[in-house]
Amino acid sequence: MTDDKREDHDLRSYGRRRGRKPSARQTTLLRQDLPRLAFDPTNTPEGLAQTWLEIGFGGGEHLLWQARRNPRVALIGCEPFEDGVIKVLSAIVDEDLKNIRLHMGDAREILRRIRPNSIDRAFILFPDPWPKRKHRKRRLVNSSLLKLLADAMRPGAELRIGTDIGDYARTMLEAFSVVPRFVWQAAGPEDWRTRPSDWPETRYETKAIREGRKRYYLRFLRV
């Protein structure tokens, strides 16, 4: 099956792509700034030591936090929802951030085109859980995605995943069990119950805390 046919058969793992109508400034950001900041293998920040990838950055809290604190790291952010992309574009322009490239669409499109063994760290933080049983096949984290990530990530790279849905955490671990190129970095319960200090809280995690849901912080090493 060709890449184009594979993309046609990918089950959509996200809901709507647009919220409210963008303002005049937001429209300018999308028309003028997104094209120059869009990820392209030939349009990457130069002279940076590592490349990190965030899949589904939502409102951009984590992506921007990492970019500000790691100016020598190139960050690729993938997000299909227009409102989230606009928020990150606004911050990039206002703060003149040089190390972020964006993809407003499905991350699998990027993973199929990126150079193999080129990602040093990847993040999937609190993806849509698709809680209804009939929709669970749309969950993003599955063995197909993990195989794409394993190809894109270099040996020794770290994959971080967060969720507040116990059933989703279970199915994630089941997916990893059939992709041996990842090893779960957990020696005990505290390794997945406690968020590392360099893993900032997102708005979705804040909501989970407010509603009393347990959080699961999973870290895997690409071997």
| Active site members | 128
Tell me which amino acid residue 154 is. Answer: R
Residue 43 backbone phi and psi in degrees, to 5: -125, 60
Q: Residue 13: CA atoms inside 13 Å, Cβ hemisphere, count?
A: 24
Gap between the Cα atoms of 38 and 53, Å rounded: 13
Gap between the Cα atoms of 102 and 88, Å rounded: 9
Tokens of 16: 């709507």
Cβ–Cβ under 8 Å, residues 178 and 213 = no
